[in-house]
Amino acid sequence: MKSSKQFDICIVGSGAGAGPIAYELARAGFKVGVLEKGKWFKEEDFFKDEQLARHSVFRSQFKDERHTLEEPNGDGSWSSDTTSQFWGGNIVGGATNFMSAYFHRLKPQDFRLVSEYGAIKGANNVDWPISYDELEPYYAKVEQVVGVSGKVVNHPQLEPRSTKDFPFPPTAEHPVAQRFDIACKSLKLHPLPMARGILSIPFNGRLSCEYSGYCGNYGCHSGAKASSRAALLDSAVKTGHCEIVTQAKVYRLNTDESGNITSADYFDLADGDSSKRVTAKLFVVACYSIESARLLLSSTGVKHPNGIGNRYQQVGKNLHCCAGGTGHGVFKMDKLKELEAKQLKVRGPFFNRALQDWYEIDDSAVSGKPIKGGTLDFVFDPPSPTGATSSLKWQGDNLLWGTPLKQKIKSHFTQSKDFKFEVFCDWLTNDECYVSLDTQEKDRWGQNVAKVRAGFHPHDEKVAQYLVDRGVEVMKAMGAHKSWGNVFTQPTSNLVAGGCRFGDDPKTSVLDKNCRVHDCDNLYVTDGSFMPNGGSVTPTFTIYANAFRVADKMLERMRADVSLIS
Amino acid sequence: MLTDKGLKSGSNKPERVSAYSCGLNRRAFLRQTGAGAMLLGLLGAKPGVVVAADKVEAETVSSEEDFSFHAQAVIEAVQMQLFPDDGDGPSARDLNAFRYLTWALEDPDNKADGDKVFILQGVGWLEELAKSTQGSSFIKLGASEQDAVLKQISKSSAGENWLSLLLYYLLESLTLDPVYGGNTDGIGWQWLEHQPGFPRPVEGKTYLDFSSVNLNEK
């Protein structure tokens, strides 16, 4: 094995937790190396082609690597199966290439769940070691640097802001948003324009949104979507101080007798899977919660016999997903006026509405005291006509074909329009939701894969059901001809966080308040792993903000310690 | 975006769709439809099919056999039953469904699934059944007799799987981008009033090209 590359800072992964570190440290003149196991695709590669997602072109292939997933069966027993569902985007920029980019901030109470709402039996809630106020400037920074479009509207649950409004105006809205606003006002709710990590006007070499209507899990062709790649890594590379090493699958961090990281070993997938080594002064791990925990657990050393940061068996623990559910409102075209039908059929602009009226639930029907609730996002799923059609051939348990099938498909596409909402509430951390190494299942390189045990707390279902019911009420008030909702308890594979939570006590946390591993002086974890709880929103915005915060801490340290400067 | 994994909403067996979108391959999907579980019940009735399905399950298929003119004629006839020229919307022929099928079956994953062999073996089985129950090759039967034969085979799980697999590819030829060979000139989209995204995929930039090309030097 030859030592091929040397950096000041080596970052494992290139998604939301990695981009801000690379951006800030490269701009400050430090030599940054980003190790990404996938390839580097650009705007011109992102065709709106359903086949790309169907064939997992931008994700790790199941045959190469996978996860073991254990889920409760509901009768005390657990299922166990291998899955590729947790691969959200394994290319430069990671899963941020394929996010919908609903950018809600967390709220002050999310940082102090126990102090605000008290402990919940069976849940591992803790207060954060930092307050909302400490993270607020970095939310503002993300809004400007990464590019967040929106409009601040005053409402009872609005979190404090240091800036009056978003730096970019809202993205274009679908006509259904008006119908939504009227319905919400009739229910005395506060309809909120949803902030998006999508540019509404060109910025920093990126074009604004093209409104093809194919967002979400389609890569962005214009660069408007605030992926770590388009918004941060491209700029970092332009400084001349950041190198992105692609097809570099890191499998081990090497530590010395003091417990510090000396190097990272990776398989060079572009060079026959040969093993190569990178040295650096500081290391950052940010390759999605599950894989970050796996890397730490796999990296044993003299000082770290059970894996880095794992002397108190905390690595991989307190993993969380997004609890919640989804709901639908279906409008039948033949029951609408011609203009209304035409409006609802428009494809291109966004629904962009959210409700946070129940971010805290104060309803004696649910609980004697206020409890933490969540967010309802009203959204469009990215179109997937082939995926949608393929299920229509079933009528109950029987296969349908011929004219009846044709008519069913035609009706599905032309006679109705389905609007969706998604509910986000806390997936309470608990002792049955964690990552460990699967000693049986190996990946293509002979390494133990990560095993995810995905136990949930029954409290989540109660909260989620309450919110789903509210969403269905809104759909009805909008005039939907059919509406329903479902709570789910399966892991949201694209929205996993925790696993290396931060805290002041090394016995109950992996990282200190600056996201440095307690017993490994030169290692930081900056993806969603640090979060003790996810907030009742998608976590990407917060991961970005926190990574910018950690970048500042790293810069302070680099500048103060001459031994860290090359 | 939340993945809809495991939701049991609606009446169209969405778990089959979500199984696909969350990363299970179609092999697993076929198993879910009962191929594995119900094969046992077929042992007496259709030994030929059990062998065929066993081969698919065991991934030992390595046949490079192509569609004969006869097999093509049978598949095209079945496709026209599945998606007929009924005066409303394109037929299987309009969608170029057979050409799309032969192309899609060469996809590495579909090949690994053994789909082509399964489909060809199903042709033999269908022909056998048509001759024994209707006294003639499937392609020489009238529309209602053909439909009766299809209804009959759909009662066995392997037969249902065979039809389901043909429908799977046929419906792909209805809504996938024309660059893949079906949906001629977007005829399927026009019928469904479906607005495709942009930019649309072009020759040389299909999913197969992305899967094979090494972009490291870019």
Domain locations in chain A as residue ranges: 3-47+66-564
Tens of pLDDT, residues A4-54: 799 999 999 999 999 999 999 999 999 999 999 999 999 999 999 999 999
Whether the CB of B204 is below 8 Å from some CB of chain A: the reply is: no
Please say whether the beta carbons of A462 and A469 come within 8 A.
Answer: no
DSSP three-state, residue A208:
coil
Q: Kindly determine whether residue A399 and residue B164, on different chains, have CB atoms separated by under 8 Å.
A: yes
Q: Give dist(CA B95, CA B49) in Å, integer.
A: 29
Q: Kindly determine whether residue B1 and residue A87, on different chains, have CB atoms separated by under 8 Å.
A: no
Q: Kindly determine whether residue B199 and residue A414, on different chains, have CB atoms separated by under 8 Å.
A: no
Tens of pLDDT, residues B101-129: 999 999 988 998 899 999 999 999 999 99
Closest Cα in chain A to B150: A401
Pick the closest to residue A558 from A90, A119, A103, A28 (CA basis): A28
Q: Kindly determine whether residue B81 and residue A402, on different chains, have CB atoms separated by under 8 Å.
A: yes
Q: Give dist(CA B82, CA A406) in Å, integer.
A: 9
Whether the CB of B2 is below 8 Å from some CB of chain A: the reply is: yes
The pLDDT value recorded for residue B62 is 41
Distance of CA A425 to the CA centre of its chain: 14
Pick the closest to residue A478 from A183, A185, A174, A176 (CA basis): A183
Tens of pLDDT, residues A394-412: 999 899 999 999 999 999 9
B107: its two tokens: 């996809």
What is the greatest pairwise CA distance in chain B? 62
Contacts of A324 in chain B (CB under 8 A): 2
Closest Cα in chain B to A244: B216
DSSP A180-193: HHHHHHHTT---EE
Please give the span between the terminal C-alpha atoms of chain A, in angstroms, as a whole number.
24
Q: What is the pTM of this model?
A: 0.91
Please say whether the beta carbons of B119 and B75 come within 8 A.
Answer: yes
Q: Kindly determine whether residue B88 and residue A407, on different chains, have CB atoms separated by under 8 Å.
A: yes
Measure Cα distances from B65 to B47, B106, B109, B117, B120 in Å: 22, 12, 17, 8, 9
The pLDDT value recorded for residue B63 is 54
DSSP three-state, residue A217:
coil
Kindly report the CATH number that applies to the domain delimited by A3-47+66-564. Answer: 3.50.50.60
Per-residue burial over A399-435, b if 16 or more Cβ lie within 10 Å, else e, is bbbbeebbebbeebbebbbebbbbbbbbbbbbeebbb
The pLDDT value recorded for residue A565 is 64
Higher pLDDT, B168 or B28: B168
Q: Give dist(CA B216, CA B204) in Å, integer.
A: 17
Measure Cα distances from B50 to A268, B29, B42, B125, B151 in Å: 44, 18, 7, 11, 19
Q: Give dist(CA B99, CA B96) in Å, integer.
A: 6
pLDDT band at residue B25 using 50, 70 and 90 as cut-offs: very low
Say whether pLDDT at B43 is over 70. no
Please say whether the beta carbons of A269 and A249 come within 8 A.
Answer: yes
Q: Between the CA atoms of A58, A59, A64 and A67, what dihedral angle is there, to the nearest 10 degrees?
A: 180
The CA distance from B33 to the nearest CA of chain A, in Å, is 9
A85 closest CB neighbour out of B23, B81, B191: B23
The CA distance from A475 to the nearest CA of chain B, in Å, is 16
The CA distance from B180 to the nearest CA of chain A, in Å, is 10
Pick the closest to residue B126 from B138, B118, B116 (CA basis): B138
Contacts of B174 in chain A (CB under 8 A): 386, 389, 409
Q: Kindly determine whether residue B167 and residue A401, on different chains, have CB atoms separated by under 8 Å.
A: yes
Element (H, E) at A530: none
Do the bridges between strand A261-268 and strand A274-279 make them parallel or antiparallel, or are there none, so unpaired?
antiparallel
ipTM of the complex, rounded to two decimals: 0.91
Write out residues 142-201 of B within 8 Å (CB-CB) of A.
Answer: 147, 150, 154, 160, 163-164, 167-168, 171-172, 174-177, 180, 189, 191-201
Q: Kindly determine whether residue A62 and residue B23, on different chains, have CB atoms separated by under 8 Å.
A: yes
The CA distance from A400 to the nearest CA of chain B, in Å, is 8
- The residues of chain A scoring below 70 in pLDDT are 1-3, 565-566
Write out residues 52-91 of B within 8 Å (CB-CB) of A.
Answer: 81-84, 86, 88-89
Pick the closest to residue A374 from A427, A329, A420, A318 (CA basis): A427
Whether the CB of A68 is below 8 Å from some CB of chain B: the reply is: no
Contacts of A403 in chain B (CB under 8 A): 84, 86, 88
Q: Give dist(CA A7, CA A522) in Å, integer.
A: 13
The CA distance from A305 to the nearest CA of chain B, in Å, is 35
B211: its two tokens: 């899967």
Element (H, E) at A515: none
Q: Give dist(CA B117, CA B127) in Å, integer.
A: 16
The CA distance from B102 to the nearest CA of chain A, in Å, is 17
A420: its two tokens: 């969706």
Q: Give dist(CA A235, CA A41) in Å, integer.
A: 15
A98: its two tokens: 């394929």
Q: Kindly determine whether residue A57 and residue B22, on different chains, have CB atoms separated by under 8 Å.
A: no
Strand order in the sheet with A261-268: A3-6, A274-279, A261-268, A248-255
The percent of residues above 90 in pLDDT, for chain A, comes to 97
Closest Cα in chain A to B144: A402
Q: Kindly determine whether residue B176 and residue A396, on different chains, have CB atoms separated by under 8 Å.
A: no
SS (H, E, C) B53-103: HHHHHHCCCCCCCCCCHHHHHHHHHHHHHHCCCCCCCCCCCCCCHHHHHHH
- Inter-chain Cβ pairs, chain A and chain B, closer than 8 A: 195
Q: Give dist(CA B99, CA B67) in Å, integer.
A: 11
Pick the closest to residue A426 from A15, A125, A86, A13 (CA basis): A125
Contacts of A218 in chain B (CB under 8 A): 197
The pLDDT value recorded for residue B40 is 31
Say whether pLDDT at B48 is over 60. no
The pLDDT value recorded for residue B79 is 98
Tens of pLDDT, residues B126-175: 999 999 999 999 999 999 999 999 999 999 989 999 999 999 999 999 99
A51 closest CB neighbour out of B12, B199, B206: B206
Q: Kindly determine whether residue A390 and residue B16, on different chains, have CB atoms separated by under 8 Å.
A: yes
The pLDDT value recorded for residue B19 is 30
Contacts of B14 in chain A (CB under 8 A): 391
Please say whether the beta carbons of A311 and A40 come within 8 A.
Answer: no
Q: Give dist(CA B109, CA A227) in Å, integer.
A: 30
The pLDDT value recorded for residue B65 is 77
Residue A278 CB neighbours (<10 A): 21
Q: Kindly determine whether residue A62 and residue B25, on different chains, have CB atoms separated by under 8 Å.
A: yes
Contacts of A389 in chain B (CB under 8 A): 171, 174-175
Tens of pLDDT, residues A315-329: 999 999 999 999 999
Distance of CA A298 to the CA centre of its chain: 24
Q: Give dist(CA A356, CA A376) in Å, integer.
A: 7
A508 burial via Cβ count (<10 Å: 0-12, 13-18, 19+): middle
B141: its two tokens: 């039967």
A57 closest CB neighbour out of B195, B198, B211: B211
The CA distance from B216 to the nearest CA of chain A, in Å, is 6
A402: its two tokens: 């011929």
The CA distance from B134 to the nearest CA of chain A, in Å, is 20
